[in-house]
Chains A and B, each alone.
Chain A
Amino acid sequence: MASETEHAAGIEDGVRRRDFINIAAVSFAGVGAATVVLPLVNQMNPSADVLALSTTQIDISAIQPGQAIKTSWRKQPVFVRNLVAKEIAEAKAVPLGDLRDPETIDQRTKPGKENWLITLGVCTHLGCVPLGAAEGENRGDFGGYFCPCHGSHYDTAARIRKGPAPKNLVVPPYNFDSDTVVTIG
């Protein structure tokens, strides 16, 4: 008699049919809720029109040795600097072991174009635009760039030398279309 009631309630191995239905229903609702959260989170990522601003072409013919210009790529500032021989020599003279983010100037420029230093003008600390691209701006203790926000100093290869920034200024992907035209992105 007792076993018949148990059978009627669906209890055979200690689990009631009702328990299974409860767990299955709540799990399914959970999966559904998680699926709906996905687009709600993803909508905050950069949208298609923002991603579309992916390449910028610049003419570098007017930049004299020692000068630099500011341009923008994906709305971020980009520094294009025509290094003089002394600055290249200074950058080469630094032992890699002294660097926080060790990279040689050759790794940061294109072969045969090592006077063209092209980096993002975005401090790797918290994203300010470092000074040093325009004439007369503070270039910091190492003659490259200086970020006024929190005092990061970059050298003539735009490598971090002093201050809170963890990395060198980022070298964006770029190519020389000709000797005077560069495409970034």
Chain B
Amino acid sequence: MSFPWAKQYQPQHPLMQWLDEKLPMPRLVYNAIGAGYPVPRNLNYFWNFGVLAGAALAIQIITGIVLAMHYAANAGVAFNSVEHIMRDVNAGWFIRYAHMNGASMFFIVVYLHIFRGLFYGSYKAPREMVWLLGVVIFLLMMATAFMGYVLPWGQMSFWGAQVITGFFSAIPLVGEPVREWLLGGFVPDNATLNRFFSLHYLLPFVIAGVIILHIWALHIPGSSNPTGIEVKDEQDTVPFHPYYTAKDGFGLGIFLLIFAALTFFSPNMLGHADNYIPANSLSTPAHIVPEWYFLPFYAILKAFTFNFLWIDAKLWGVIAMFASIAVLFFLPWLDSSPVKSSTYRPIYRWFFWVLVIDVFILGFCGMQPAEQPYVIMSQIGAIYYFAHFLVILPIVSRIERPLPMPNSITEAVLAKHADTPSAATA
């Protein structure tokens, strides 16, 4: 579906007309990310991050395919093959550092994309499906990133695999057999490395597929916007191309600058030195932490140090960690406020920022050893995280009195650009 005023694809060149009759691929692109897709005129730079996430995935796939030409997924030689890429392969160091830091950049833009959605209520009707598919993409990204981190077969790779597959052993009765099934052994070994490589190669293409569904679901109601008011008529929109191709292009330039700075000047800043030690199944690194993008969830896992009710601490930790992501699936129904944008939600707006701070605190705690005061901090942080979604949000969305809203996107835009503040209220 699109708005009735969307521009129609009209190929001029006979070759393009011929192609349009046989395989209307250019028409699909034109209607999806070309002039045929009308977009609200007031999108701010936070609307760049979807395109940036797509660009990050493309970079990961391209660098990853190249790395797979030189990498050997065998526990005996994997570590050395990565060193071979770093030292011997032409430009290998660049491709590997780009892939390594590309993963971090991917998560940075995806987290900003998610928080954009939280702030502007992008998960609300009629875009619930867009949000649900987004959470699926996030889960797939986490699985892919984890398996990718195992491939260099350093100490952090090995012990990350040990700890993360250990989550499954918390499941009552079938946990240990499930873990052995995932690993193909009793500890991470050659079988584990091989299957992780296979899946690490596969999952990005699955992500690409779900992204197509994500965009498909988005294009049915059309993009949201910072006011959260739905498009009413033609003056509320501009064609995606050239308006947002230009705006996204500018954002992409900034993204690439930061990415290049990280890759060329500080490629190991976000990694762990321990991963340059070959995997040793008899010695756990003194301080084992996951990559930065998993830290808040890791803190929630570590927050449970005591048995509670009839469930033991280990299972609680694992349940809480998975629940911290699963709760996002229910978000469109936990927040019952019809107002999307936090701009018009005076109470929710504050709780949004408290949640952001809470996630940062959890991330900090995830980095720390399992001792006081970090344990109690993660416990409070974890309780608050769940309280935000399960208690605060449902209550706030019922009692909050939203601020007066403009009648249309155009009215909001014109009010903002009026010279005097009095014009805004007129």
* Residues in chain A within 8 A of chain B (CB atoms): 41, 44-47, 50, 70, 72, 74-77, 100, 121, 124-130, 147-151, 162-166
Contact = CB atoms under 8 A, between A and B. Distances in A.
A76 B191 contact: no
B288 A149 contact: yes
Contacts of B182: 44
9 contacts: A45-B184, A46-B183, A46-B185, A50-B186, A100-B312, A128-B162, A162-B305, A164-B313, A166-B307
A163 B305 contact: yes
A129 B284 contact: yes
Nearest to B186: A74
A50 B183 CA distance: 11
A72 B187 CA distance: 11
Nearest to B283: A129
B22 interface: no
Given A149-B370, A164-B302, A77 B282 contact: yes
Contacts of B2: none
A97 B55 CA distance: 58
B147 to A, nearest CB: 14
Given A45-B184, A151-B369, A166-B315, A126 B163 contact: yes
Contacts of B369: 148, 151
A164 B315 CA distance: 9
A153 B282 CA distance: 19
A164 to B, nearest CB: 4
Contact of B281 (A45, A76, A124, A126): A76
Given A126-B162, A150-B302, A166-B313, A72 B191 contact: no
| Candidate in A72, A74, A76, A125 with the most chain B CB atoms within 10 angstroms | A125
B184 A148 contact: no
Given A128-B163, A164-B302, A47 B317 contact: no
B250 interface: no
Nearest to A165: B314
Contacts of A166: 170, 307, 312-315
Given A126-B166, A164-B314, A50 B283 contact: no
Contacts of A149: 159, 163, 284, 288, 370
Contact of B187 (A47, A76, A100, A151): A76
B349 interface: no
A80 to B, nearest CB: 13
B166 A125 contact: yes
A164 B312 CA distance: 8
Nearest to B315: A166
Nearest to A74: B186
B195 interface: yes
B335 interface: no
A101 to B, nearest CB: 9
A136 to B, nearest CB: 13
Given A127-B166, A129-B283, A50 B370 contact: no
Given A150-B370, A151-B370, A166-B315, 4 more contacts: A50-B191, A75-B189, A130-B284, A149-B163
